[in-house]
């Protein structure tokens, strides 16, 4: 059943009314926005930079093209794409949360970037862009927070140009038992403590660990992308599948 017809959904391990999740996710990201970048580096030991580098390498993006960095938050991918597409291209950094957008806009302006970047507050489920508009859409660590993922994937497919590609970078399932055990221990014992110490917010980091466990695994997400009309969908496991990059095309 499409998520859009369900009246309940998950917020981490909690079952909540589907209409409530958006507000609860908003609460998490308003709370973590100011410390988001420093926590990302700490929690992943900087490895998120390699996952994002791999995403750029798989993007096929060129000068003059249009990119949507959806759920783009503090704009790590936007910064890289802005340099690649140059003055004749455009990057739209879209996010539902104005606190995350504000941190992102300030950071990118401080890096001297901006003339080819547009900031748009938008829900991934209902993108406010024309059909067939973007050469590339990325959504990094965003999809698991979206209430109706099927609707969001269909919306992304709609705004992609024919020939365009969608890249979904997201936490996924470790492929080996030993990695799975280590990762569980780290996520449920160390991560919330780091959140409490550095961001004074253990709850948001507990949500992070739980929401990762509730997110569809590699094969399920691949099927969801195909259902949304994307073609030649494949995925690449990174760090043993702790993270996966899914790639699909619109033809
Ligand atoms: C974990 S952050 C990822 C930020 C950035 N992409 C990165 O990789 O560092 C998740 C982002 O998804 C955004 N988000 C959550 N639900 C969303 C939705 N329905 N539509 C658009 N953005 C959403 C949050 O506001 C947050 O900025």
In angstroms, the CA 87 to CA 110 distance is 18
159 found inside a domain? yes
188 found inside a domain? no
Q: Which CATH number fits the domain that encloses residue 64?
A: 3.40.50.150
182 found inside a domain? no
pLDDT value, residue 59: 98
Provide CB contacts within 8 A for 163, sequence distance 6+: 135, 249, 250, 251
CA distances in angstroms from 232 to 141, 216, 217, 226, 247, listed in the order given? 22, 19, 18, 8, 8
pLDDT value, residue 194: 87
Length of the chain: 251
Which residue is closest in CA terms to ligand 1's atom 27?
73
Which residues of the chain are modeled with pLDDT < 70?
1-6
Atom of ligand 1 nearest to the CA of 125: 19
Q: Report CA(174)–ligand 1 centroid distance (Å).
A: 22
User: How does pLDDT run across 102-138, given as a tens digit for each residue?
Assistant: 999 999 999 999 899 999 999 999 999 999 999 999 9
pLDDT value, residue 132: 98
Using a pLDDT cut of 70, give the percent of the chain over it. 98
Atom of ligand 1 nearest to the CA of 97: 25
Which residue is closest in CA terms to ligand 1's atom 25?
97
197 found inside a domain? no
220 found inside a domain? yes
Q: Report CA(124)–ligand 1 centroid distance (Å).
A: 9
- pTM over 0.85? The answer is yes
Tokens 């739209």 map to which residue?
A: 92
Write out the two tokens for 154. Answer: 């269909």
Q: Which residues line ligand 1 (CB under 6 A)?
A: 25, 29, 71-74, 76, 95-97, 100, 123-125, 140-142, 145-146
Write out the two tokens for 209. Answer: 């660990």
pLDDT value, residue 77: 98
Helix segments in 58-201, DSSP class H: 76-85, 98-110, 149-159, 177-185, 191-199
187 found inside a domain? no
Per the structure, how many domains does the chain have? Answer: 1
Q: Report CA(127)–ligand 1 centroid distance (Å).
A: 14
What are 244's strand-pairing partners? 170, 237
Write out the two tokens for 8. Answer: 């309940």
Q: 93-125 burial, b for 16+ CB within 10 Å, e for fewer? A: bbbbbebbbebbbebbeeeebeebbebeebbbb
186 found inside a domain? no
pLDDT value, residue 122: 97
Q: Report CA(241)–ligand 1 centroid distance (Å).
A: 20
Q: Report CA(143)–ligand 1 centroid distance (Å).
A: 7
H/E element holding 20? helix 18-32
pLDDT value, residue 1: 46
Provide CB contacts within 8 A for 128, sequence distance 6+: 120, 122
Q: Find the domain containing 75 and state its range.
A: 3-175+205-249
22 found inside a domain? yes
Which residue is closest in CA terms to ligand 1's atom 3?
141
């Amino acid at each position: 059943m499409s998520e859009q017809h369900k009246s309940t959904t998950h917020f981490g391990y909690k079952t909540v009314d589907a209409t409530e999740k958006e507000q609860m996710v908003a609460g998490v990201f308003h709370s973590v926005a100011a410390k988001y970048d420093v926590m990302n580096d700490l929690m992943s030991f900087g490895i998120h930079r390699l996952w994002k580098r791999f995403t750029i390498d798989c993007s096929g993006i060129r000068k003059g093209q249009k990119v949507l960095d959806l759920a783009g938050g503090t704009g790590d991918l936007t910064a890289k794409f802005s340099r690649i597409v140059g003055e004749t291209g455009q990057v739209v950094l879209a996010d539902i949360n104005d606190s995350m957008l504000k941190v992102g806009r300030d950071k990118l302006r401080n890096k001297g970037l901006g003339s080819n970047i547009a900031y748009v507050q938008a829900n991934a489920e209902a993108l406010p862009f024309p059909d067939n508009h973007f050469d590339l859409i990325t959504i990094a660590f965003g999809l698991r927070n979206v209430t109706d993922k099927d609707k969001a994937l269909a919306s992304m497919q709609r705004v992609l140009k024919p020939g365009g590609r969608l890249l979904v970078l997201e936490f996924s399932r470790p492929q080996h038992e030993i990695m799975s055990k280590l990762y569980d221990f780290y996520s449920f014992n160390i991560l919330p403590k780091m959140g409490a110490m550095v961001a004074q917010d253990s709850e948001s980091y507990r949500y992070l660990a739980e929401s990762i466990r509730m997110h569809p695994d590699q094969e399920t997400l691949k099927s969801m992308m195909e259902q949304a009309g994307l073609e030649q969908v494949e995925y690449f496991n990174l760090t043993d599948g702790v993270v996966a990059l899914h790639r699909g095309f619109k033809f």
